[in-house]
């Protein structure tokens, strides 16, 4: 049975990606019954939906035209209390996650990563009240469209003033995460999503190929001189099934860059080690993904303890041995640790899991090698970029944080916009 959303109008405004927009609308209509459907477009030969209002608009030269229609015209056509806005790269993916609480607010969209009161949110898949749309329509001079990013303009530039002067309410972040995700997924099965870069996570291989095939034919997305081309290229390449993991990515010009890092100043990870890990001379430390040995050298020199560096790359292990230059330091391949159990007092894993071809396997290995009561330090980027032979560093959708939580509990954590660090022990 479809969701009953008769109090909601489904709105899409599209003049560039008509075929993909039609698919996005159809995906929503498969799971929900709306009070009305509004299609604003310049091409109804392709983007025509039975039973919808079809409003002809120009093929605008930039997104400012889109914003002006949304703020200054759309309110005249919306008759329901709420309006759900989608785009060619956004639609409903988990109808079971719908909540009537979404309707209690005047605006809800995927949270960004800002650490302030104006983090909700992205409008590519969003829900806003008819009365908020009317308010913007009736106060055009007070709230002018000064840039084409209407969600940033509304939710970050104008939200504070609007809330101060009215009784409009933006949804809290926790509920907004349930509603949708774009760059900051925190709810397991959000109601909807936005972003072509999320297609591989929300589409089956068959459906992904279907949409990428259409995208290739669209000059707005696939032409190298177009705004969307880097994003399209990123998705098409990063999730190509026929890629080969490159364990020697850090070679040639990359190896020189890696080696040069050893000449730089104090390494922030070592400050965390000094503060949180009470290493003694008798302890054994595993530097998992040791790279050129920068951290291992600092540990050996500071604590005079035994350190083993594990790395897939032969080049990295050679550099590490030369750089650390101590009989307290040795190297190995990760798979040489398979039969090691409850051996290491500390394991350091710094900016490694984001590159690992199978991070779950690496975490199992670290779990096995760490003594009960031993400590693990992980520092990692939020987004994974896996080295491949064909395309260099490519992103996939594996959630490393979720995998870490299967094996370890943490007593110290910290997050930034792009990375995080965790210190803890085995579950």
Distance CA 123, CA 109 (A): 6
Tokens representing residue 142 in the block: 């007070």
Residue carrying the six token digits 């081309």:
229
Task: Report residue 267 as tokens.
Answer: 């390494």
The residue count of the chain comes to: 427
Domain at 3-194, CATH homologous superfamily: Spore Coat Polysaccharide Biosynthesis Protein SpsA; Chain A (3.90.550.10)
Reference 405, options 373, 427, 381, 379; nearest CA is 427
Question: Exposed (0-12), middle (13-18) or buried (19+): which is 384, by Cβ within 10 Å?
Answer: buried
How far apart CA 316 and CA 292 sit, in angstroms, is 5
Q: Can you read off the two tokens belonging to residue 180?
A: 């949708």
Extended strands (E) in 82-223: 82-86, 90-92, 107-109, 126-129, 180-181, 192-194
pLDDT of residue 241: 47
For the four alpha carbons of 91, 93, 98 and 102, in that order, the dihedral sign comes to negative
Alpha helices in 304-369 (DSSP H): 314-324, 359-369
CA atoms within 13 A on the CB side of 300: 21
Angle at 156 between CA 150 and CA 413, to 5 degrees: 125
Domain 253-426 has CATH 3.40.50.10420: no
- pTM for this predicted structure: 0.59
Inter-residue contact 82 to 103 (CB < 8 Å): yes
Tokens matching residue 306: 């035994």
Three-point CA angle 130, 133, 135, nearest 5°: 110
Token look-up 């040995």 returns: 293
| CB-based contacts of 45, cutoff 8 Å, min separation 6 | none
Strand partners of residue 379: 350, 421
Helical H segments across 114-193, by residue range: 130-138, 150-152, 159-165, 173-179
Which residues of the chain register pLDDT less than 70?
205, 225-268, 387-397, 417
Give the residue extent of every domain in the chain: 3-194, 253-426
Number of other residues whose CB lies within 10 A of the CB of residue 110: 31
| pLDDT at residue number 183 | 81
Phi, psi (deg, nearest 5) at residue 55 = -115, 120
Q: From CA 108, how far away is CA 105, in angstroms rounded? A: 7
Alpha-carbon distances, residue 243 vs 151, 262, 321, 330 (angstroms): 36, 31, 31, 32
- Name residue 10's beta-bridge partners: 37, 84
Contact criterion met (CB below 8 Å) for 289 and 267: no
Query: Residue 389's pLDDT is what?
Result: 60
């Amino acid at each position: 049975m479809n969701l009953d959303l008769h109090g909601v109008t489904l709105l899409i405004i599209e003049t560039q990606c008509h075929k993909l927009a039609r698919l996005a609308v159809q995906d929503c209509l498969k799971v929900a019954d709306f009070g009305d459907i509004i299609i604003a477009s310049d091409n109804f030969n392709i983007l025509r939906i039975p039973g919808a209002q079809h409003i002809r608009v120009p093929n605008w030269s930039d997104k400012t035209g889109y914003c002006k229609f949304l703020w200054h015209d759309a309110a005249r056509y919306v008759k329901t209390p709420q309006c759900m806005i989608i785009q060619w790269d956004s639609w409903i993916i988990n109808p079971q996650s719908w909540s009537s609480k979404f309707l209690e607010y005047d605006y809800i969209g995927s949270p960004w990563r800002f650490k302030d009161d104006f983090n909700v949110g992205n409008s590519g898949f969003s829900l806003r009240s008819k009365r908020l749309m009317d308010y913007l329509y009736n106060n055009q001079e007070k709230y002018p469209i000064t840039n084409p990013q209407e969600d940033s303009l509304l939710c970050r530039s104008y939200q504070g003033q609007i809330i101060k002067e009215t009784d409009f309410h933006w949804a809290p972040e926790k509920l907004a995460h349930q509603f949708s995700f774009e760059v900051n997924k925190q709810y397991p099965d959000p109601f909807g999503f936005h972003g072509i870069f999320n297609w591989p996570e929300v589409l089956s291989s068959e459906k992904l190929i279907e949409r990428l095939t259409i995208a290739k034919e669209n000059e707005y997305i696939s032409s190298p001189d177009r705004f969307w081309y880097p994003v399209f290229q990123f998705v098409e390449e990063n999730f190509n099934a026929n890629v080969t993991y490159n364990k020697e990515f850090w070679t040639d010009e990359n190896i020189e860059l890696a080696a040069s890092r050893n000449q730089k100043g104090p390494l922030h990870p070592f400050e965390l080690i000094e503060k949180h890990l009470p290493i003694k001379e008798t302890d054994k430390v595993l530097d998992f993904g040791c790279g050129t040995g920068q951290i291992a050298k600092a540990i050996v020199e500071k604590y005079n303890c035994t350190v083993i560096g594990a790395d897939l790359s032969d080049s990295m292990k050679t550099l590490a041995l030369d750089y650390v230059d101590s009989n307290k330091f040795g190297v190995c391949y990760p798979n040489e640790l398979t039969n090691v159990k409850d051996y290491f007092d500390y394991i350091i894993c710094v900016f490694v899991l984001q590159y690992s071809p199978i991070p779950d396997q690496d975490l199992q290995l670290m779990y096995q090698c760490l003594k009960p009561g031993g400590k693990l330090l992980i520092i990692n980027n939020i987004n994974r970029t896996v080295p491949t032979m064909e395309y260099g560093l490519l992103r996939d959708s594996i959630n490393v944080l979720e995998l870490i939580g299967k094996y370890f509990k943490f007593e110290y954590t910290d997050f930034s916009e792009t990375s995080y660090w965790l210190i803890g022990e085995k579950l």
